Amino acid sequence: MPKENAGVQISLLLLKLLEEKDMYGYEMIATLANRSEEVFQLKAGTLYPILHNMEKENWVQTYEAMADGRIRKYYQLTKQGKIQLQEQTAKWKKYAQAIQNVLEGEGKGDYEADKRCTF
Amino acid sequence: MKQTKDVLSEMGQQYVHTVCEQIQCKSARKAVAWELTDHILCQKQDFMEQGMQDEEAEICAVLEMGEGKEVGMALDQIHRPKCQWQLMIPVFLLFGFGLVSRFLFSDIVEFESLFLLTGVGIGLFFLAYFLDVAVLYSMGKWFVLVVFLVLGLSFVLYHEHNGQPYFAMRYGMIPYYDFALILPIAQFAIYGLGYQRQKKGFLLCVVSIGLFFLYLLWCDHISYVLLYGVAAWSSLGVAVFCDWFGIGKKEGKRLFFVLTAIGMILLCLYLFFVLRYRFDMAVGRMTGEENDSGYVAALVQELWKNSQWLGMGEVPKGKWRTTILYVIQSKEYGAELFLAKVAFVKGKLFVFFILCAFVFLFCWSYHKIRNQKSSHAKITATCIWTILLFQTIGYIFYNFGFMILSMELLPLVSDGIVCFWLNAFLIGILLSVFRRENIANDGCILEKQIKNF
C-alpha cells in the first residue's frame, strides 16, 4: 500500500469514528482495533501527529473535560471535517472499486483484446 | 509538566520528555505532555486489567507509544508558530503612514526623534508579537498584584493638570487615562484566576472590571472610560459564551445580560446627570457656539452639513469654515482632527489608503478570531480587536464631523506618543495570539487553577 494512501486512510477512519461521537486519543485506538478485529493497531506516535494535523486543518476541534481526576482532551468533528469525511469516503470507494475491478474482471478492459476488437 | 511528574514513573517521564524536547514551542510542549501522559495512563490501566503488575504495565504502555524522537519531530512540524505576514502588511503600512504623517504635520522636526519614536513603537510591537500571552493567564496572581500595586502608587504620585491626573516625568507628562488601553490586559490575568471557578470566578471578574472602571472615572476622560467599558464588556461576553467560568452557558448568558442591562442604565444615568455639561461643551465646540438647549437637536442639524462637507471636499461656508481653516492652517499636529487635516492638505486618496489598511486589518483579524480554538485566545483577541476598532471608528467619525465627543487617537497613525506605543504593543499581542492558534488549549496553561478547583 503506498505510504501517502495509508495516511489518507487513517484520517478517514478517524473522521468516521468522530462522526459517531466525540473521542479522546486512546479511545480511538482501542475502538479502531476492536472494530477491525485487531487489523488496525495504531501507535500513539502515529495517531497524535495525524490528529493534531487534522485540528490544524480545522477538520476537528478539541475541548477538555475532567476524567479519572485528570484533564482529558476530546476531539470533535467540525463542519469542515464532515465535508472532508464525505470527500475521502467517495475517494476511497472509487479506489476500492478500482482494485475490485482489477481483481475480479479477468479479460475485461484487456488492452490487447480491446486492440483486436477495433480491427 | 507537573502532571507528568506526579503520575508517571521515570520511564514514562523520560518518554514524554523526549517527545517534548523535539518541540520548539514551549506552550505546545505542555499540551502534548498532558495528552501523552493521559494516553500512557489509559493504556497502563488496560494492561493492569489484563493482569499485569503496575511497573510492567507502565513499561509496556510506554513501549506501545512508538519512537519518542520521531513522534516529537512530527509534532514539532505541526506546532510551530505561524508568521502572520498577511497582517504584518497592513500593520507596517500603518507604521509607514504614521511616520509620513508625523513628518508632514508634527511639530517634531528632527529626524532622529521621529525615527526613535517609530522605532520604539516597532520594537514594542515585536516584543508583544513574540510574547506568549498565555503566561498572563497562567501567572495571574502575580500580574494582578503588580497591577494593583501600580494603580495604588498612581494615587500617591499623581499631578493634576486640567482637572485630570498625570504622571509627571522629566520630558513631559503621561495622562493616567492611557491606562484604559492596558487595563484590559491586566483583566486577562484576572480571567486566569477565575477559570472554572463558577460564580466566584465570574464575580471576581465583574468586581475587578467595576474597580478598573471607577479608576478610569477618577481619571476623568469619558472617551477612555467608554473604551475600557466596551473592551471589558466584549471580553466578558466571550468568556461567558465560551463557558470560561464553568457556570454553564445558559446561566452565564443570563448573568451577563442582567449585568449588561444594569451597566447600561448606570452609564446612561451617569452621562445624563453628571456629564451632561460635557455634551453641551462638545456641541458648543462643534457648532461654534455654546449650546444650552440640548445636544441632540444640534447634532441632527449638523449631520447634513457634515455630509455635504465630506462629499464636496472643499472648505464649506458657515460655521464649519472657521474650524476647518483652523485645522488646516494650524502649525500644530492637530492630533484630534488629523484625518480631516490630511484629507484637506494631502487629498482624500491619502485618507482612503489609510482607511483601506484599517479595513483589511480589522476584517482579516475578525476572520482569525473566529478560527481561534482556545477560549483564552478568543478572549484576548476579541478584547484587543474591540479596543482598536473602538478607537478607529470613534476617531474617523469625529474627524468627519459625525460625533460630538473627541475620541482617542488613531492607532499607529495619529500623534500621541504613549498611545502610539501602547497601540503598537496591543497589535503585537493580537498577532501573537494568531501565530499561536494551534498551540495551546486552556487546560494545560491553567493547570494550577484546575488543580485548586
Per-residue pLDDT of chain B (453 residues; tens, 9 = 90+): 445 556 777 888 889 999 988 888 777 888 888 889 989 999 988 888 888 888 888 888 888 888 888 889 988 888 888 888 889 999 999 998 888 877 776 665 567 778 888 899 999 999 999 888 877 887 778 888 888 888 888 888 888 877 778 887 766 777 888 888 888 888 888 888 888 888 888 999 999 999 998 888 888 778 888 889 999 999 999 999 988 888 888 898 999 999 999 988 988 888 777 777 766 666 665 555 544 554 455 555 555 455 444 444 455 555 555 655 665 555 454 556 667 666 666 666 777 888 899 999 999 999 999 888 788 889 999 999 999 999 888 887 776 666 555 556 788 887 678 888 999 999 999 999 998 876 656 655 555 554 544
| Residue B309, in any domain of the structure | no
The answer to whether A55 contacts B438, with C-beta atoms less than 8 Å apart, is yes
Q: Are B84 and B434 a contacting pair, CB within 8 Å? A: yes
Q: Are B431 and B91 a contacting pair, CB within 8 Å? A: yes
Q: Which amino acid is at B170?
A: R
Residue A64: HSE in the Cβ half-sphere, 13 Å Cα cutoff: 26
Kindly state the greatest CA–CA separation across chain A.
76
Q: Which amino acid is at B44?
A: K
Residues of chain B contacting residue A52, judged by C-beta atoms under 8 Å apart:
75, 78-79, 438
Whether residues B14 and B137 share a domain: the answer is no
Q: How far is CA B131 from CA B126, B135, B236, B284, B294, in A?
A: 8, 9, 23, 45, 48
Domain boundary among B78, B111, B144: B78
Q: If you ran DSSP here, which 8-state letter would residue B176 be given?
A: G
Whether residues B210 and B344 share a domain: the answer is yes
Tell me, what's the pLDDT at B163? 74
Tell me, what's the pLDDT at B266? 87
Residues of chain A contacting residue B446, judged by C-beta atoms under 8 Å apart:
none
| Residue B300, in any domain of the structure | no
B38, B70, B442 member nearest A70 (Cβ): B38
Residue B324: HSE in the Cβ half-sphere, 13 Å Cα cutoff: 20
Identify the CA nearest to B200 among candidates B244, B136, B168, B254: B244
What are the pLDDT tens digits along chain A (119 aa)? 333 444 457 889 999 999 999 999 999 999 999 988 888 888 888 899 999 989 888 899 888 888 877 878 899 999 999 999 999 999 989 988 888 888 887 555 666 666 665 55
Shortest Cα–Cα distance, A92 to chain B (Å): 25
Give me B449's grid cell.
487553577
Tell me, what's the pLDDT at B387? 92
Whether residues B57 and B174 share a domain: the answer is no
| Residue B178, in any domain of the structure | yes
The answer to whether B38 contacts A72, with C-beta atoms less than 8 Å apart, is yes
Tell me, what's the pLDDT at B365? 94
In order, the DSSP letters of B126-146 are HHHHTS-THHHHHTHHHHHHH
CA B167 – CA B170 distance, rounded (Å): 10
Residues of chain B contacting residue A72, judged by C-beta atoms under 8 Å apart:
38
Radius of gyration for chain B, computed over Cα atoms and rounded to the nearest angstrom? 26
Instruction: Report how far Cα B66 is from the mean position of its chain's Cα atoms.
Output: 42
Residues of chain B contacting residue A45, judged by C-beta atoms under 8 Å apart:
65-68, 70-71, 74
Rounded (to 5) percent helix, strand, coil in chain B: 75, 5, 20
State the residue range of the domain holding B19. 2-78
Shortest Cα–Cα distance, B36 to chain A (Å): 8
Identify the CA nearest to B437 among candidates B38, B140, B196, B78: B78
CA B159 – CA B148 distance, rounded (Å): 19
The answer to whether A62 contacts B68, with C-beta atoms less than 8 Å apart, is no
Q: Are B403 and B343 a contacting pair, CB within 8 Å? A: no
Whether residues B141 and B30 share a domain: the answer is no
Cα angle for residues B212, B214, B220 (degrees, 5° grid): 110
The answer to whether A53 contacts B78, with C-beta atoms less than 8 Å apart, is yes
| Residue B339, in any domain of the structure | yes
B35, B77, B373 member nearest A48 (Cβ): B35
* Chain B positions touching chain A (beta carbons under 8 Å): 3, 7, 31-32, 34-39, 41-43, 46, 64-68, 70-71, 74-75, 77-79, 371, 373, 438, 441-444, 450
In total, chain A counts a number of residues equal to 119
A43, A53, A73 member nearest B65 (Cβ): A43
Whether residues B95 and B69 share a domain: the answer is no
In order, the DSSP letters of B386-398 are HHHHHHHHHHHHH
Candidates 1.10.10.10, 3.30.200.20, 1.10.3720.10, 3.40.1190.20; correct CATH number of A3-106? 1.10.10.10
Within 8 A by CB and 6+ apart from B149, the residues are: none
Q: Are B213 and B236 a contacting pair, CB within 8 Å? A: no
Rounded (to 5) percent helix, strand, coil in chain A: 65, 15, 20
Tell me, what's the pLDDT at B120? 92
Tell me, what's the pLDDT at B309? 47
Shortest Cα–Cα distance, A45 to chain B (Å): 5
Domain boundary among B78, B106, B125: B78
The answer to whether A44 contacts B39, with C-beta atoms less than 8 Å apart, is yes
Backbone angles phi, psi at B278, to 5 degrees: -70, -40
Whether residues B253 and B203 share a domain: the answer is yes
| Residue B411, in any domain of the structure | yes
Whether residues B157 and B43 share a domain: the answer is no
Whether residues B216 and B335 share a domain: the answer is yes
Residue A3: HSE in the Cβ half-sphere, 13 Å Cα cutoff: 1
Domain boundary among B25, B45, B78: B78
Tell me, what's the pLDDT at B373? 77
CA B34 – CA B28 distance, rounded (Å): 10
Give me B317's grid cell.
461656508
| Residue B301, in any domain of the structure | no
Whether residues B226 and B375 share a domain: the answer is yes
Give me A80's grid cell.
469542515
Identify the CA nearest to B410 among candidates B437, B434, B392: B392
The answer to whether B38 contacts A26, with C-beta atoms less than 8 Å apart, is yes
Tell me, what's the pLDDT at A76? 92
How many domains are contained in chain B? 2
CA B193 – CA B448 distance, rounded (Å): 10
Whether residues B14 and B140 share a domain: the answer is no
Residues of chain A contacting residue B443, judged by C-beta atoms under 8 Å apart:
64, 71, 73
Within 8 A by CB and 6+ apart from A84, the residues are: A11, A15, A57, A59
Tell me, what's the pLDDT at B93? 93
Whether residues B132 and B26 share a domain: the answer is no
CA B56 – CA B58 distance, rounded (Å): 5
Whether residues B94 and B41 share a domain: the answer is no
Neighbours of B89 (CB within 10 A): 14
Tell me, what's the pLDDT at B1? 43
A24, A43, A55 member nearest B64 (Cβ): A43
Q: Which residue of A has its CA nearest to B36?
A: A44
